[in-house]
Structure 1
């Protein structure tokens, strides 16, 4: 899905129909009644007018319908773009913060002007794409992005109000929290059998997910599951993705600490995937959930732009991205909470993406394997390749050779289809004496798949560095070729992807990461669970919001009427309801 979400070559636009939740169905104008003949009967045989106004459909509306795919979502996704970022920045003077120490002495300027605070978060996959494009390290690419969004030589240099982003944060920080919470979710599910209540209210996940737990950080995979395979929804991890968790952390903390409404904070995320724009539009990821007011609220992530769109952002302001400084900004405004400031902006990198075995999609599975093995002395992890390079199976065994834990990695929709097919519950045959129908043919309706406890699922083959929003080998910024030149083929793209992966794993071996973890004895893969959990507890206490409400989300089955024929009676009732009538 991700790789085709581009508005450049769409040729299969579809208009909303009767089956859409926003139908283009307009009643003909009523004829004036002839008062001279009270018994006159008229028959409505005229066709509907041809010049109907376009239907107003929001991205959230589209996500509620499983019939509108590809082009419909692509067009609506284009509403979140670099142009929207520039339009927002030029909408008026921003709120400006000043202060010398985190958590104290923070003052706000332009509070009565209606302005906003602008915050950006950047994914490591996007930094890797930029790094490969300009021949720099992943860290240097991050510095260049920060200069573009906040520095004096960036986009604010040519802006109307000289607005820029107050903070640029690394989503790796939120990912650390997701890794620790994900390991805790898996361990709890194993111990409780998947029946433990987690106490989240208002429709957010009530129970631990069923075994096997499937990752939920890939929005393309989530859309696919909700629209076509609702039987896998009980297996989905209830954790928010790093993008969503970062958005919640920023908006809850800033709104509470600064005493402003969440809609005065505007958050853009730079991601490798177009589908992340779909994730940002979910009603489950708004302040209505963590505020608990039950109404449609303000998004935790207001806009998502891709790695490619980041360069378009620079071009729109006539900024030469290649000439931006590769060193960190000299100064920044402290975050209005000292503990969270140290968490979001650590002096030394706590965890680097320099372990190829963890993959390029955040390392959820790798961390869980390392965490589980650390709980059993002498345990080892074995890896077995599946039917292709995007299917890997893992087994944690004890010193005695006993199997303790089984997990797997499934990347790409072709492999995902095989996975969900194996998880499909059994159905009784309609034929007398027939065998059960479906992939699961065991008594009691159990799935026929391997006994995995956890499966890392990603829509893109190769992982998130291969997202549809990444810079490709045939982009002019890479080739510098003229029109009519030979277009690079699949092999060139494969070689280019290997360069992006290399940039993703380009962590410097400086030893700095060890300095920030000296006071923690429970470090697993560069992350201290005790430090993460204490920070999350502080976040919940500082905002006065229950932690479960902050870190968990929910999913729902999407039911569509597309392709179903409605009878005359249902059609009459539907049309009557549109003008306030009914039966």
Structure 2
């Protein structure tokens, strides 16, 4: 596991299951608690120290919030770090692009005259990481994004050192592909809830695909939640959304287009993702998220291993360690955006406008607590349902047993004799403790061993039956493993790190803003504030050439689409997004069902079965997922 992961990061954990790889027979004998659930979630402050057995499981065997993992998975995750980034940059010279894909975008990459293999370095950054950096240094989210851009692709950043002076050709904002996932998620829910399977969208439907999940549809963008579901609750898999996460989607988009349209082999494109969560490293290692999902045919490449769409994932804290390891003071990086001449355009004009829009990319669009800090999937789906089917309805929000369980309903008053009717119901479940309650209620009944008795679990209250007045089950549930959502990911900068990192920040030590208190909850509120204010602030704060500024997706321009109130939902044009996705299909010759969707599988226990050695397991898994390991 990453060296920066510590016990302090585990604010929600799962007790080991029976398939744990660590020996448990050495633990002191204790009387078992018949009422205990082996997968019950608890918190450290609830553990009775006088009754707890000595811990025998190290952090090497665990992810921040995905429950039990195998040592093979832990090895794969540990290989992704800031050290791996620097090693790769120093091993491979940067790939030179012929005239920066000039001549109308039709040029192919040159062969570099048979020199040492070169790689095209690209990176993508999540908004939660920018929010964590912004809260740490007391800057706006936009300024934090500019500092990250400067580090990864600016002349004062990684390019200032190393063997070849390599940096990243492009740094993308994953909010762009998040907008695509929001539109596709709304379409997916529309198909699943439509009786005719003909959603009133813009002519593009996924109804004919076998990818439509069962109700209630559960968000699949959180890899910790997916890992847990695959290993412990396979009955959940038919409910999972088949959409790729924004990280996976941008990886597929970039590598498929650059490979299929511009002749760059996938293994010569090295994609770094900067994410808030350690589990995103495990997501990048999934066999489903490789070039096998979008290659039309691998007949000419059967001899090689599949290549991952995302080669390496690092977290917010590892990003700062990356700068420190290269001898760069992150604090001194300019807060102004890169100039156009420092960032070449993406070779395809349509995708360049999509990946580097002239307007702020902010899927939450001003909503704060209602949208959540994990991308606003549920919030966008609610507004889409209201725009398409229930324009006279209103959104009603009801908090559950704690702040991480929230119920959302579209309530229409224009029905029978003025009585309100729930026309669409959804919920948000964050944190494994709450997720446990969700998956239990979704477990199918088991046949009873008693003749004539009804199945066990049939009397269980269906998901969404909050009370006598509720007549609808949940149609959609936004599920995230971390309490508080993605801004509270295990790889985010912690409050205990802030004092050291903010040394030298103007105003902090000279009677200005006080150093944040040692309250993680209050600190998370600061990060959330930075996350939700992502579209605010001025690009011109440093007084540099405003007219010669590239926005990297955070500019002040507007999208060139018609202002159709039935098309634009929460500031996102469904018609525009679908036109970009169709353009992607055209460039690659691959259907959207392969480009934007994925699959899941039940992970079976190997307890009691013949096992290969750990070395063989790691080597086999690394070979299967590719990526050069």
TM-score by length of 1: 0.79
Q: Is 1:441 aligned to 2:459, yes or no?
A: yes
In the TM superposition, what whole-angstrom CA distance separates every residue of 1:366-416 from its partner, at most 9, and x where no partner exists? 000011111222111100111100000111022322221000000000000
| 2:393 corresponds to | 379
**Which residue, out of 186, 189, 192, partners 1:189?**
192
Q: Is the 8 A contact 1:2 1:273 kept in 2?
A: no
Per the TM alignment, residue 289 of structure 1 is displaced from its structure 2 partner at its CA by 1.5
Q: Distance in 2 between matches of 1:3 and 1:217?
A: 25
Between stretches 229-238 and 392-401, larger displacement belongs to: 392-401
Q: Deviations over 1:72-96 (max 9, x none)?
A: 6445422100000011111121112
Match of 2:236 in 1: 232
Whether 2:333 is the aligned partner of 1:324: answer yes
The reply to whether residue 454 of structure 1 matches residue 476 of structure 2 is yes
Contact map agreement 1:350 1:514 (CA 8 A) in 2: no
> 1:333 deviation in Å?
1.1
Aligned equivalent of 1:312, options 314, 321, 324: 321
Distance 2:380 2:89 in 1: 38
Aligned residue in 2 for 1:492 = 519
Structure 1 residue 441: deviation in Å?
2.5
Instruction: Indicate whether 1:422 and 2:441 are aligned.
Output: yes
RMSD between aligned alpha carbons?
3.5
For the residues of structure 1 that align with 2:350 and 2:501, how far apart are their CA atoms? 45
Give the Å deviation of 1:156.
Answer: 1.3
| 1:368 aligned residue | 381
Partner of 2:122: 119
Report the CA distance shift for 1:418/1:9 in structure 2 as closer, same or farther (over 3 A): closer
Q: Secondary structure at the match of 2:424?
A: strand
* Aligned CA distance change for structure 1 residues 447 and 195 (closer, same or farther; 3 Å): farther
The Cα shift of 1:125 comes to: 0.2
In structure 2, distance between residues paired with 1:67 and 1:560? 14
Q: Of 567, 586, 590, which residue of structure 2 is paired with 1:541?
A: 586
Indicate yes or no: 2:518 matched with 1:515.
no
User: Partners in 2 of 1:545 and 1:316 — Cα distance?
Assistant: 41
The offset of 1:292, in angstroms, is 4.8
**Residue 113 of structure 2 corresponds to residue 104 of structure 1:** no
Partners of 2:173 and 2:274 lie apart in 1 by: 10
Once the two structures are overlaid, the 10-residue window that deviates more, 534-543 or 516-525, is 516-525
Given that 1:280 and 1:300 are in contact with CA atoms closer than 8 Å, whether structure 2 keeps it comes out as yes
Q: Which has the larger radius of gyration?
A: 1
Q: Does the residue aligned with 1:559 lie in a helix, a strand or coil?
A: coil
Q: 3-state DSSP class of the match of 1:153? A: coil
2:479 counterpart SS class? strand
Matched with 2:88 is: 88
Maintained 8 Å contact 2:123/2:272: yes
Q: Deviations over 1:422-458 (max 9, x none)?
A: 00000122234555323x437xxx9565300000000
| Correspondences of 1:258-269 after superposition (within 5 Å) | 258-269=262-273
Query: Residues 147-168 of structure 1: CA distance to partner in whole angstroms, max 9, x if unpaired?
Result: 0000010011012101110000
1:407 to 403, 406, 426: 426
1:183-229 C-alpha deviation (Å, 9 max, x unpaired): 000000011489999599xxxx8341000000000000000000000
2:306 aligns to what?
Answer: 297
Q: What SS does the corresponding residue of 1:508 show, helix, strand or coil?
A: coil
Work out whether 1:148 is the aligned partner of 2:155.
no
Alignment correspondent of 1:391 = 405
2:618 aligns with none
Q: Deviations over 1:310-363 (max 9, x none)?
A: 000000111110110111111211111010011000122243543212111000
Gaps of 5+ in 1: 11-17, 21-58, 482-487, 573-583
Deviation at 1:547, TM superposition (A): 1.4
Mapped partners of 2:361, 2:131: distance in 1: 18
Residue of structure 2 equivalent to 1:344: 355
Q: Is the contact between residue 142 and residue 537 of structure 2 (CA under 8 Å) also seen in structure 1?
A: no
Residue 605 of structure 2 is aligned to residue 552 of structure 1? no
Q: TM-score, normalised by structure 2?
A: 0.74
Aligned match of 1:278: 282
Q: 1:355 aligns with which of 358, 363, 367?
A: 367
Q: Number of residues paired by the alignment?
A: 506
